[in-house]
Structures are given as C-alpha cells and as structure tokens.
Structure 1
Amino acid sequence: MGGGGCGLSASTFLSDHGVDHLLVERHADTSRIPKAHYLNQRTMGIYRQHGLDAPIAEQGATLEEFGQVRWLTTLAGDGPLDGRVVHEMDAFGGGALRASYAAAGPVLPVKLPQVRLEPILRQYAEQRNPGRIRFRHEMVGFRDEGDRVVAEIRATDTGETTTVTAQYLIAADGGRTVGAALGVAMQGRPKLLHVKTAYFSADLSPWWHEGTLITHFLNPHHPDLSGNLIEMGPKWGKECAEWVLHFHPGDPGQFDEEQIAPKIREVLGIPDLELTLHHVTNWTVEALLAERYRVGRVLLAGDAAHRQPPTVGLGLNSGIQDAHNLAWKLSAVLSGRAPDSLLDSYEAERRPVCGLNVEWAVSAATHHQAIMNATGLGQRVPAQRRERAFTEYFETSPMGELARARAGEMFETHRGGCQAHDLEIGFGYEEGAVVPDGSGPPPRAPMRDEHHPTTRPGHVLPHAWLEHEGRRLSTHDLTGDATAFALLTGPAGTAWCEAAVRLAQTFSLPVVTARIGEGAEYTDADGRWAAVREITDEGAVLVRPDNHVAWRSAAGAGNPEEALADALAQVLGRAGVPAPARGE
C-alpha cells in the first residue's frame, strides 16, 4: 500500500525477486511536491543492483553540481552586508570528500528531488509488474486472518470496490492509516517544529553559487528572513528553473500565501525578482519511530515506520533501504526457502538503524541552530548584536579574523550533518538474519565522518573492483540483481566454493561463488579487496542478497560444507540443514 518512493521501490525489488504483488496508491499520479532530494551512496548502490541507477543519474545532479553547503546573507543586494558568503564547506561526497566516497562504493550519491524520482520508479515498476501498479486505488479496509490478509480496494474514479487476498501487506502509506489501525504507537516527538515551504520557478542564474546542495540564508537585519534554498531542477546550477525555499521555522500562520512571493524576494535580496509560485506547504517536523515494524502479516516501511527532520537526508533513504531489506526475505519465505519467522528479522535489523537515524537528524537540526547562535549569526540573537556581529565578521581587522576563525571552527562541527558518510553506509545489523562471529564493530568517529569498511557480519559488504573474464565489476555485483547469495573467498578457498555449489542445490538457493586473488577466477583489480576483506586466503565471506554480510570464517574450516550449511540455516531461520535431494 503506497506509491511513493518507498512503495514503488519495494515493487521493483519484489518484481526482480519474482514475487507476485499488487501496489495500490490513492492518488492519480506520483508526487507533485519536490520533497526529499538527496539519494545517498547506499541507496544508489541499491538502485544499481536493480538497474535503476543510470536513469536516476541521467536526470539527477552530480557531486560537482551539488557537493557543497553554503551560508549566505542574501543572494544579491547592494548593501555592505548583502550577497556575502558567511561560510561554505564540502558536503555529501563533494570536493575533498570525493576520493573517500569513490573508494567506498561503485556509485556516488545523486541529487534528484522526489517529484522527479518517483516517475522513474513508477515507469520501471510498471514495466516489471504490468497491470499491477494501480494508482487511483485506495485500500479502504483490511483484516489479518492469520494465514492471509484480506483487503478492500476502491477505485477512486469509479467507486468500484474489489476484494484482494494476499499473503502479506507492506504498509508504505506514510503512516496515514495502517499503523494506527493496528494500534502501533509512534514513539518520540510528534511536533518539533512548524515549517512553511514555497515551491517556485525563477531565473536565479545571475546570482547563483553553483555546486550547492543547500544554501542557508542568515539575514543580517531581519532574523525572521532566514531560511534555506534548494535546487529542484530539471537542470542544475545556473540552468536550474525550480526551487524550494524553507522559511525559518515558526508559527505557520506568521504570514499568509499572498505574502509568500514578497517574502521570497526579501530572503533572496532580489526585490524585483520575477517568479511563479507553484505550491505552499505548511508542515510539521516530527521525530517518530514505530514501536513495532511487524504485526502479524503486516509490515510497516518508510514513513509508516519512522519520520524525522530532513537534516542529513536520511528519511527517504531509510525507507528505500527498508524495502530492500524486506524484498529478499519475502522472496525466501514465499518460495519456501525460509520460514515465516525470517520476517521477524526485519524489525530486529531495521528498527535500531532507523532509530539512530531519527535521533541523528534531530541532533543535526538543533546543532545547526546552535552553531548560528554561538557565532552571533542565529535567528534568536537580538537584532542590534546580530548586525554588529555580521559587520565585524566581514572586517579585515584582527577582530574580524578572530570572528571568522572562531566561526570556522564551529561551522566545521556541522560535518556530523553533511559529512556523516559512516552513518549513511557504515551501519550494521547486530541482530537478525546474521551469524555474529564475536568481533567488535569497526572504529567509529563521533561525527561519523570517517568510514571504516568491514566484512563483520551485519555490515554492508565492502566495495572493491574485480576483474573477471575481461569484465570489471564490483564485489557488490556478485549478488546479481539482488536475488542471490554470494560466497567470497581467498584464492585458497576452493573447498568453500565447492561446498557452496552443493548447498545451493540442497537449500534450493541461488549462491554465486567468487575466489578472489592471485591465480583465482576473480582478480583484485587494485588491491582494495585484500585491504578490506579481513579474512585469510583460506577464509570465506557469505553475503546476503541485499549485500549485507551474513557470516564469515576468518580462515579455513575442517569441514567447510558443515560450517557453511549451519550458517545458511541460521541466516534463513531454519531449524536445520535440509536432507539431500534423492540420488545425491
């Protein structure tokens, strides 16, 4: 249920796993509001598995076009404090961050607003599941009968009602109906801030600072004219035509819609700007986490399971990663490869990760305000002191240098909000469909701005480039279109690979094997795999279809088949190893 970013992604993933499903969405079309706009490296890696990265990257902005965050007084103006750059820093893989991001994955982050992303997702969902992606259809009721879910679906244009029987229901409805109907409480802070957002078109090319993901405005004269501006495409940089401006949080009734256009001009410092206003939204920033992700045969995903401030860009990304986690597990259960209890691991894995994401986003939002206040540039600083601080900040005097130096150190602490690479791709599942090996987590920088790849069970498989039969591929490509397990070994791991081939038949499970290293079928193209594998030449790493490490053996084993069979049984939640097929 739900045809937004999470629901449409889930549909594509399920199709690739061969899972028959129906998607219903009450609206006639995809979102007409830009909403989320940053697709992080983990999400783009997921889309790469499913062949969606190229069309998304084709429309989206590259790191060169969005890899900085800036703070300005205004975009333009002829006053001494107008059009001034307060601070700028690399963000989300841009600038000096690019090398570390490029080393960490086969693809880089992309900026593409949800209003442009969702049509791409819908197109591919419909291609892979023809006739089963039904917009203008809403679920008006459902019941979990223990062995099935029965739902009533109404066509919004005709009023015709249909009864649908399914094995499971994924609620990607934004939290509007299903969770509440099941009595699932959303825990946390429901009303953090009230925000007014304007979506408009204008030509800002004469003043625009290219390469910016977010521009924060700190008006030196009027604190209430602060806000942030974001490109919304369809082209980028000076060619960008559409924009979103988030006004300073406050009472949503602080000014009415007729005042929006003049307020936009004031914030930007362009009093004669020609603009077309498309949409004004009053919305509430929340920090909520569902107490449960699964109730019987109903599974909550995306905003139905977690809602958070937009800082750090974790909301939509978390929802897409929810769907990715669910798809291979539903496939395993519905194909009979795993019991229904495997789906319990969805909550065990995703809820702690999303809980941290919610709290991190809250922290980043509040810390941003704290930075502004500490440097004398915040909205809550009295007007007289604020203007004096701004004037001093831009002076060439020793006190101006001191003010900029102090502010610069404070601004750098914002890397926990815009350089938290390890938060985006370094998360791990401590419980669930993984077999812990007793090792501790990798080093963690407090700001999560340093990523340490690891093959520790539960973590995303480290990326490394391989050469195989004249083709260059990533370790992430070994799972194919996210439907197979993969077993990666050192060059002396033949016994593991032979065991995996036999067990693939025993478990009726697709398993790809890859011996990597000197003299093996796969060549470590640049030596990175040897640096991150954390196993010997005789060791092995078992990877799930979602590219999370399921199990590893640091070295060889006396009985590789027994060890690997036990690992597969634990990951799938099976009581034991299946009996060999007749004739084996």
Structure 2
Amino acid sequence: MVDCDVVIVGGGPVGLFLAAELGQRGISTEVFDAKSGTSTHPAANANSARTMEHFRRIGISERVRALGLPSDYAPDIAYFTSIAGHELARLHQPASRDAVEWAKAHSFTWATPEPPHRCSQLYVEPVLLEAARNNALCRVHFDARVVEFSQGYDSVTATVELAATPERDAETRTLKARYLIGCDGPRSFVRKSLGVRYEGVSGEKREFMGGQMDAVYFYAPDIYTVSPHAPAWQYWTFSARQRALIIAVDGKGHFIMNVQMREDELPDEDSVRRRIAEAIGADIPFELKSGSTWTAGFTLVAEKFAAGRVFLAGDAAHLFTPTGGLGYNTGIDDAANLAWKLEAMVKGFAGAELGASYEAERRPAALRNTAFARGFADSIGHLQVPAEAYADGSPGNAAREAVGDYLKFHATAEFVIPGVHLGTRYETSPLVEAEAGAGSPDTANLYVPCARAGHRAPHAWLADGGSLYDRLGSGFTLLCTAPAGIDASHDEALQRAAATLTQLAIVHISEAAVADLYKAHFVLIRPDQHVAWRGNALNSEFDAAVRRAIGHVSGTDSAACPSMAMAL
C-alpha cells in the first residue's frame, strides 16, 4: 500500500507544474518544499513559447499572460551606457495584449498559438500552486524538507520533516510512493543522494555573465521619469565601471538588477546602492526589497536523469547561465515529458522502455539548450566596449553607434529564438523509429515546422480561427488528415491502439494546409505534443509504433485497457 503515487521534492515552478499536470491525469501527488511559500524574490522572468504551450494544455496560459507587465507595456530589450544616459540599441517586442495576434501575423517564424511572455516567476508560481491545489489528488506542503529516501522493488520511501506553522505542529512523517521526483534546484538533495554528478563547464569567467552575481530587488518608479528613452523590459547597462542587467518586474517601478561583482567586492547595502545609482545614471530615491547572490558561468548537465524509481527535473538535472532564459523553461519541458510517462507507469500501461526514455529524451535536450545559453553568454559577456563610447561629441557618437550595431545583432541572436523554443526533437528516442533522411535544421533563430517522428507536432491555425493544439486530446491523439476520414475498415487497428495507450482521442481535420504540414494521412501525437509516428495506413507499422510509443519493446509486454475518446 502506498500513501501517494508520486512524491515531488521541490515546490518551485517545475515541481508545481508537474504536480498540476499529474493531478489532472489522476495521479495522487505530494509536494514538499523547504521554503515558507512561493517565491518572494524575482528569479526567472521569461516564459518561452513552449512553456506557454504547456501552460495552455493545463488551462492556465491566459491567466499567466495577464500577469507581469501592463498589457500595453512593450517588453523591449534595450542597451544603454546608463538608463538616463545614451541608448545604444533596442529590440522591439509586442506588448502582451498584442502578442497572440502578432504571432499569427508572424506564423512563418513563430508557428505557435502561444508566443513568449515576459513575466516573473514571482507571479507564475502562485498560479501554478493554485492549479496544483485545485485537484484533490495533489497536496503541497511548504516548510517541509525531505531528509531521507530509499528505494524498494516497487516503491520509494521518504522521510519528511515538517516544521511547525500556524496550521500544524512540527512532525516527522514517513510515506511510501511509487515514484519520487527531485525538482529541488541546483543544490539538489535528491541528486546528491543518488550520487549523481553534474558534468560540463563550471565557473567560466567573462566580463559579464561569468562570475559571482549580485541580484537586487528594488522599487524605483522614478526610473521612468529620469530616462529620456521609451520603457523597456530588460535594461542592459554598460558604464565605464560596471555592467548590469535591470529587468522591469511589473512596469510600475519594481525592478530586479543583476550585476557582476569584482573579486574583492561584497554585496553590502552601501555598495548595492552605488551599483543601482551607477546603472540608473541619475540620483533618484529607491527602496531595496530583497537580495541574493548567485554564480554565472555554468553549463552543467547531470550525468544521469534517473535511478530506479527516482527522477530529476529542472535545475536538479541541469544548470544554466540564464542568457536566453532557458533554464526554467527547459525544466518545464522536463516536467511535461515526464508527467504522461508517470501516468502510464502508475496506471500500468507502460512498457519496459518508458521510464528510461525520459533520460534518453531530456538529457540531449538539456545538452542542446545549455550549449545555446553558453553561446548567448559568450556573445554578450565577452563584448569589449571601447573607451571612446563614453566620450562626448563625434568620436563618442561614432563609437556608440558601432557598439549599437553589434548589440542589435546580439539582441536578435539571443531573444528571437523560435528554433530554441520550438525545435526540440527526440529522433533518437527508444519510443520512436527515426524516419529516413535528414530532419529540419536545429538552429536558434529559425524554426522550420517538421512532423517527423520525435519532433514537436507542428502547430496550425485552423480555418475556423482556432488552434490545432486545442483539438488534441490530453492523452495520445490520432490525427487524420485524409479527406475521407476514418471508416469501419480502421476499427480493428483503433481497438488495438486503445488497448495499449492510456487514452486515445481521434481527430479528423480535412484541411489542405494541415495535410501539407504533416505530409501523412495519419499522425500519432503523444500527450506532450511530440509526434510518435506518421503514415498513410493503419497497418502493422502503426501497431508497432503504438506499442513503441508507450515503451513496449517486445511482443510479450502487456498493457491494461484504457479509455478512447472519439472527437471526429
């Protein structure tokens, strides 16, 4: 007898998203986090298009898109000598009220129903917490620390210390679950307990984004009055004495500043105030709210993502320098990959390879994304600004224009990255049989829709104005693009598929644009919106693909009987 299906160690955004999705999938979950509640200090500030697609799947994307900056505030990325000084370059971005329509107009590059959204983890976590707690199968505990766990043949036993709160007395609990997931950050107790190490580059030094960083949350609404420039979401400042990144949290005066400390510097209040004043470039009042230190210069991926019934996700599995905003978003994608697999394993549908496929799919994705982030950090962190850029007159103007030319190039390279957001693919996964020929290019700044097995299912806007993604089921979906649709001749193949998969929705869309996009009459799409298989007949090849997609690698694997939702 188990106390719950899944224990999640860590109640940050990755753990809460995983709990919310598992709850919707009927999996009982308990989450334990040592903090007293959701974050009070801004951290991750960018939600990728892929993260927003996952939020759409669990029904929270509209709520998240309404949070953060005001709806008419353009989340530009801009570069300055100081905020009150010279503007060097700017990348214009659509305000949140315009973002979805903008994405429709730019669907040739951003082929998604959910363009990126600039909103701090500070606001996203409470939405995820509510989504998790809305399901009676999910319980989230703060002021609670998992201090020990052990694995048996069919379960994991965890010891949890719950601190005293106004709602409960202090206690130590022991509970048994089928699986345990470590979403407990870069210092992960779970990863260390498994004896799993990070591999990669640590402590890389750069002029910026490579060393000890001081992060300060402060309130300074007068920034908007002393700056002669349009507001921005990210203010990168390059003074003669320091470099800083200031991010607008709410568009009303709250900001988070990251500045790299010199080796002999300490983050005391006087130096923090000097750094803020230097970045602003004007003497204005401001209120310090909180601070933290962290280290940039990491490109680290865990050597293993799983051991037995224990899995790692988020920063416990990979650690980024935050250029490109990829760390948190890669973690959400981890959780989306893992959630449906845990459901299948708990409910008895999974074959022998399904659990192992998590590492096989997500570790290469982490290596890919950390490499992209490292490249972005090199591009901005090693930039040498000439002394002339701080001079008055023609020499200064010319130098600033030259620096601005490079920064415009860099801004596009780091922030216009649909290929990073949408191009993750699992062609080498044990769950798919790789198709012949070459796939689409995997580049940062260009996403080429591709329906090959393993790729994210390409998005399309349908003739009625709706999103193809809203027609997909929460489990597996068999998409039929053939004009004739599905008839009685397909019944036996569908029944065999329904006897193997946790759920199967059948969706018929006879629009030429969708058929051209997928280039097959039938497409099997996984719960995480990746293509499992495509073909022109529901034959033995389809039967084999169905079994492979849920981890069955031999004819002797058995599966339970699921439900099949018909959405013709």
TM-score > 0.5 by shorter chain: yes
Cα offset for 1:248? 3.4
Return the alpha-carbon distance in structure 2 between the equivalents of residues 488 and 70 of structure 1.
Answer: 45
Tell me the alpha carbon deviations over residues 381-408 of structure 1, each in whole angstroms, 9 at most, x when there is no partner.
5x5x5534x754654xxxx3x9736751
Structure 2 matches for 1:34-53, cutoff 5 A? Answer: 34-53=42-61
In the alignment, the residues of structure 1 paired with residue 456 and residue 559 of structure 2 have an alpha-carbon distance, to the nearest angstrom, of 31
Q: For 1:41 and 1:424, how far apart are their aligned partners in 2? A: 6
Deviations 1:456-510 (A, max 9, x none): 111111111235xxx7532212333x33333333214425864553234322532
Counterpart for residue 89 of structure 1: 91
Structure-to-structure mapping, 1:80-479, within 5 angstroms? 83-90=85-92, 98=103, 99-100=105-106, 104-129=111-136, 132-157=139-164, 158-175=169-186, 176-192=188-204, 193-203=211-221, 204-207=223-226, 209-210=229-230, 212-219=232-239, 222-224=240-242, 226-233=243-250, 236=251, 240-251=252-263, 253-254=265-266, 256-271=268-283, 273-285=284-296, 286-370=298-382, 372-373=383-384, 377=385, 381=386, 383=387, 385-388=388-391, 391-392=393-394, 395=397, 400=398, 404=401, 407-409=404-406, 411-432=408-429, 433-445=431-443, 448-466=444-462, 472-479=465-472
Report the TM-score, using the length of structure 1 for normalisation.
0.84
Tell me how far 1:130 sits from its aligned partner: 5.8
Deviation at 1:514, TM superposition (A): 2.1
Is the partner of 2:401 in helix, strand or coil? helix
Q: CA RMSD in A?
A: 2.7
Matched, 1:515 2:517: no
Q: How far is 1:357 from its partner?
A: 1.0
CA distance in 2, matches of 1:171, 1:298: 7
Task: State the Cα distance separating 1:131 from its structure 2 match.
Answer: 6.4
For 1:277, the aligned partner's letter is L
Question: Contact 1:194–1:252 (CA<8 Å) still a contact in 2?
Answer: no
For the 8 Å contact 1:73–1:85, the answer to whether it is kept is yes
From 5, 11, 18, the counterpart of 2:19: 11
Match of residue 483, structure 2, among 464, 486, 491? 491
Structure-1 residue corresponding to 2:548: 570
Please give the secondary structure, in 2, of the residue aligned with 1:473. coil
Q: Is the CA contact (8 Å cut-off) linking 2:196 and 2:304 kept in structure 1? A: yes
CA contact (8 A) 2:44 2:120 kept: yes
Measured at CA, do residues 501 and 58 of structure 1 come closer, stay the same or move farther in structure 2, by a change above 3 Å?
same
Calculate percent identity across the aligned residue pairs. 28
Query: Given that residues 341 and 355 in structure 2 are in contact (C-alpha distance below 8 angstroms), is that contact kept between their aligned partners in structure 1?
Result: yes
Counterpart in the other structure of 1:80: none
The 2-side partners of 1:406 and 1:262 are apart by 25
Deviations along 1:96-128, one digit per CA (max 9) or x if unpaired, are: 985335851112211111111111111111111
2:37 to 29, 42, 67: 29
Deviation digits for residues 404-462 of structure 1 (CA, Å, limit 9, x no counterpart): 367515631442211121011111112222232223211344xx211111101111111
Asked if the contact 1:92–1:419 (Cα under 8 Å) also holds between the matched residues in 2, the reply is: no
Change (3 A) 1:253 1:500: farther
Partner amino acid, structure 2, of 1:509: T
Per the TM alignment, residue 316 of structure 1 is displaced from its structure 2 partner at its CA by 0.6
Question: Could you say which residue in structure 2 is the equivalent of 1:520?
Answer: none
Residue in 1 that maps onto 2:6? none
Contact 2:69 2:249 in 1 (8 A): no
8 Å contact kept, 2:460–2:468: yes
In structure 2, do the counterparts of structure 1 residues 534 and 505 end up closer, same or farther at CA, with 3 Å as the change threshold?
closer
Alpha-carbon distance change, 474 to 31 in structure 1, aligned in 2, over 3 angstroms: same
CA spacing shift, 1:500–1:27, aligned 2, 3 Å: farther
8 Å CA contact retained: 1:16, 1:483: no
Give the match's secondary structure for 2:480.
strand
- Tell me the TM-score normalised to structure 2 length: 0.87
2:192 and 2:325 mapped to 1: Cα distance? 26
Q: Which runs of 5+ in 2 are unaligned?
A: 1-8, 205-210, 562-568
CA contact (8 A) 2:77 2:411 kept: no
The superposition leaves residues 486-537 of structure 1 with CA deviations (integer Å, 9 ceiling, x where unpaired) of 33332144258645532343225321222222xxxxxx3xx642442223xx
Farther off after superposition, 280-289 or 127-136: 127-136
Q: Which amino acid in the other structure matches residue 90 of structure 2?
A: E
Is the 8 Å Cα contact of residues 8 and 122 (structure 1) preserved in structure 2?
yes
3-state DSSP class of the match of 2:255?
strand
Tell me which amino acid in the other structure corresponds to 2:419. D
Structure 1 gaps, min length 5: 77-82, 518-523
When residues 128 and 547 of structure 1 are mapped into structure 2, their CA distance, relative to the original with a 3 A threshold, is same
Distance 1:334 1:413 in 2: 46
Deviates more, 1:187-196 or 1:126-135: 126-135
Shift of 1:265: 1.6
Matched positions, count: 530
